[in-house]
Amino acid sequence: MPNDLQRLNIKFYLEDETSVSPEEVFRIFNRWISEPRDEVLIDVADYTHIPNGPQTLLVGHESDYSLDNTDGRMGLRYGRKRPVDGDARQCLRAALSAALNACQRLEEAPEVEGRAQFRGAELQMSVFDRLGSPNSAQTLEALREDLLAVLSEIYGEAQISLTRDEDERQCLTVQIQAQGDFSVASMQQALAA
């Protein structure tokens, strides 16, 4: 079991992919730099010239945030860069919490007037660490118990499916789908409880 689960990425998808534009998010991310919440945020990069990638990237010291379209679906990606202390469950929990906080902040951003809403029942987890967490069935199996334990905190008893990207050249990427409807706020509350 990987107890050094690092470089975790969590992505939540927008309900309506066109509800918020990269230009709007660029403006919002710039504001976030001036209003940091317990982290160092540094700069915003515009990559809208590459459609299937991070469209607008908020670069931080510990973590990055992006309006992301890497997989052809627009969402908010949180990516941890600096090492996190703790076991896999703690790392997962911290990443999920940070991603949800960012989603909530975007949903509540006055610039988008409530247009940005996230589909809570689906998320993507990636581990950008091919050495520590190679993309294999074994890695996922080793991680499954911790992952499901953390997911059950936000999804309760809902049925959860985990689908791993089997392209071995990709980093470990798991598509997570829960049965039911889940709002960002409810998942945050559940995780904080």
Neighbours of 91 (CB within 10 A): 24
User: CB pairs under 8 A, 24+ apart, for 106-109?
Assistant: 106/20, 106/25, 106/28, 106/76, 107/184, 109/28, 109/31
Q: Does 87 bind other proteins (CB under 8 A)?
A: no
Closer of 70 and 124 to other proteins (Cβ): 70
Q: Does 36 bind other proteins (CB under 8 A)?
A: yes
Closer of 99 and 121 to other proteins (Cβ): 99
Give the span between the Cα atoms of 66 and 44, in whole angstroms.
9
Q: Does 53 bind other proteins (CB under 8 A)?
A: yes
Q: Which stretch binds other proteins (CB under 8 A): 37-45, 100-108, 113-121, 178-186?
A: 37-45
189 contact partners, CB below 8 Å, separation of at least 6: none
Give the span between the Cα atoms of 78 and 136, in whole angstroms.
22
Closer of 50 and 181 to other proteins (Cβ): 50
Give the span between the Cα atoms of 154 and 193, in whole angstroms.
10
Q: Are 116 and 106 in contact (CB under 8 A)?
A: yes
Q: Which of 15, 16, 40, 166 is close enough to bind other proteins by CB under 8 A? A: 40
144 contact partners, CB below 8 Å, separation of at least 6: 162
Please state the closest distance from residue 7 (CB atom) to other proteins, in A: 6
Which structure tokens are listed for 104? 């909530």
Q: Does 130 bind other proteins (CB under 8 A)?
A: yes
Q: Which stretch binds other proteins (CB under 8 A): 13-21, 34-42, 146-154, 182-190?
A: 34-42
Give the span between the Cα atoms of 124 and 15, in whole angstroms.
14
Q: Which of 122, 129, 153, 165 is close enough to bind other proteins by CB under 8 A? A: 129
Q: Does 64 bind other proteins (CB under 8 A)?
A: yes
Interaction site with other proteins (CB under 8 A): 2-4, 7, 26-27, 30, 33-34, 36, 40, 42-43, 45-54, 57, 59, 61, 64, 70, 81-82, 128-134, 139, 169-171
